[in-house]
C-alpha cells in the first residue's frame, strides 16, 4: 500500500488497493525493483577486480577468494602474515610455517603437484611459483591461478602488495615496513669491523649459491658484507666447487643439509674460512627461514647478522689487533 501526497501539515491518506490493482502502483513497484537491481549490480562491479601475475596473465575476481591452495612456502607464509591463514584449504609438502598449516591437506610438490588432489579441494584460487608446471593444466580445468615468485627485496614487497590486493586486505604495506625496519636494525647492530667481509652463502648442496642479485644477496649487502658470487651469474647459480675455493671467502654460511657433502669437496679444507673456523651452519628450520623470500626475511637478516658478528667481527678484530701489535713492535726496533 502506498500513500497519496497531501499538502504540508495534513495527514497522508492511503489510496485503497494501489499496492495491488493500481497501474500506477505496479509501475512504482517495478521502478523500485529496477533501482534495487541497479544498486546490487553497481556493488558487484565495485568489488570486481583484476590482478596480473608474474607470467603476465590477468585473473579476474568478483570478490576476494575464500578457498586458497598455496604451492609455494613463501606464498603460504605471506597469506598467513596478511591474516588470511583460515582461507587456506591446501598447501604443498614443504609449507610448514606457521605451525597451523601442517594440519592442512598436502597436494604434493610445488613444481609437480597432484592435480586431482587440488581440484578435489574446490579452491577459488591457486597460488604457485612461475616455475611450476601445473599452471596451464589447472587453468584448463577452470581454476583461477596466480603465479608469483619473488627473488629480490623489491619482488617481496610487490608480491605482498599483490597478495594483499587479492585477499582484500589493506595492511600489506605495513608488513613490508616492519620487514624493512627490522633488516635496517640488524644492519645497525653490527660493528663497523664487519664491513666488506667476503661471504659465500650456500642455498643447497648443488652447490647452489645466493648471488648478489638474489634477496639473500641483497640482505648481505644491507648488512655491509660482500658477496663472492657476482650479479652476472644470476640470483641462485649452480657453482663449480672450485669457483668457491678460488674465491676463498672470509665467512661461509651453509645449511645442515650441505654439511655432509661439503667435506668431500676438493680444496675446501684449505680455504681461509675453513681453516679459521669462520663457518656458520644453520639448522634446517633456520635454513627454511633464510631461503624463503617472504615475511620472515627480517628473521633471516638477524640470523645472518649474528653469524657475521660471531665469525667475521671477531676474526676481523683479531686481525686488526695482530696488525696493530706488529706495527707497535716494528716501531720499537732500533
What proportion of the chain, given as a percentage, has pLDDT over 90?
72
Which CATH class, in words, describes the domain spanning 191-321?
alpha beta
Question: Any idea where the domains of the chain sit in the sequence?
Answer: 50-170, 191-321
> Tens digit of pLDDT for each residue in 151-168?
999 999 999 999 999 999
Residue 1 pLDDT? 41
**Helix, coil or strand: residue 95:** coil
Find, among 293, 202, 288, the residue nearest to 239 by Cα. 202
Q: How far apart are CA 320 and CA 22, in angstroms?
A: 100
Which residues 6+ apart lie within 8 Å of 152 measured at CB?
Answer: 213, 214, 215, 218, 235, 293
pLDDT tens track for 202-213: 999 989 999 999
Q: What pLDDT score was predicted for residue 5?
A: 38
Angle at 135 (CA atoms; ends 130, 137), nearest 5 degrees:
160
Distance (Å, whole) CA 115 – CA 129: 15
Identical fold for domains 50-170 and 191-321, yes or no, is: yes
pLDDT in tens, 226-242: 999 999 999 999 999 99
Question: What is the percent of the chain where pLDDT is above 70?
Answer: 79
Name the CATH topology of 50-170: Rossmann fold (3.40.50)
The secondary structure of 221-239 as a DSSP string is HHTT-EESS-GGG-SS-B-
Amino acid at each position: 500500500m502506498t500513500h497519496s501526497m497531501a499538502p504540508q501539515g495534513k495527514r497522508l491518506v492511503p489510496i485503497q488497493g494501489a499496492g495491488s490493482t493500481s497501474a500506477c502502483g505496479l509501475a512504482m513497484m517495478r521502478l523500485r525493483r529496477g533501482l534495487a537491481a541497479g544498486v546490487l549490480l553497481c556493488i558487484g562491479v565495485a568489488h570486481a577486480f583484476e590482478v596480473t601475475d608474474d607470467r603476465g596473465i590477468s585473473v579476474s575476481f568478483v570478490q576476494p577468494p575464500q578457498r586458497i591452495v598455496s604451492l609455494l612456502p613463501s606464498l603460504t607464509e605471506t597469506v598467513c602474515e596478511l591474516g588470511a591463514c583460515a582461507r587456506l584449504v591446501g598447501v604443498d609438502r614443504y609449507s610448514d610455517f606457521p605451525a597451523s598449516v601442517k594440519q592442512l591437506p598436502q597436494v604434493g610438490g610445488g613444481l609437480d603437484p597432484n592435480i586431482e588432489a587440488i581440484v578435489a579441494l574446490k579452491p577459488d584460487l591457486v597460488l604457485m611459483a612461475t616455475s611450476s608446471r601445473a599452471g596451464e593444466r589447472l587453468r584448463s580445468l577452470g581454476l583461477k591461478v596466480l603465479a608469483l615468485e619473488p627473488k629480490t627485496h623489491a619482488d617481496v614487497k610487490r608480491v605482498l602488495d599483490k597478495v594483499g590486493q587479492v585477499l582484500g586486505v589493506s595492511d600489506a604495506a605495513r608488513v613490508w615496513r616492519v620487514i624493512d625496519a627490522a633488516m635496517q636494525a640488524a644492519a645497525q647492530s653490527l660493528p663497523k669491523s664487519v664491513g666488506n667481509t667476503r661471504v659465500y652463502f650456500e642455498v643447497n648442496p648443488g652447490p647452489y649459491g645466493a648471488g648478489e642479485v638474489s634477496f639473500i644477496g641483497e640482505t648481505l649487502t644491507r648488512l655491509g658484507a660482500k658477496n663472492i658470487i657476482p650479479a652476472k651469474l644470476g640470483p641462485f647459480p649452480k657453482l663449480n666447487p672450485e669457483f668457491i675455493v678460488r674465491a676463498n671467502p672470509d665467512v661461509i654460511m651453509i645449511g645442515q643439509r650441505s654439511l655432509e657433502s661439503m667435506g668431500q669437496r676438493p680444496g675446501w679444507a684449505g680455504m681461509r674460512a675453513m681453516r679459521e673456523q669462520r663457518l656458520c651452519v644453520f639448522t634446517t628450520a633456520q635454513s627454511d627461514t633464510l631461503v624463503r623470500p617472504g615475511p620472515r626475511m627480517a628473521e633471516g637478516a638477524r640470523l645472518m647478522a649474528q653469524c657475521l658478528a660471531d665469525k667475521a667481527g671477531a676474526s676481523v678484530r683479531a686481525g686488526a689487533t695482530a696488525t696493530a701489535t706488529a706495527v707497535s713492535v716494528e716501531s720499537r726496533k732500533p
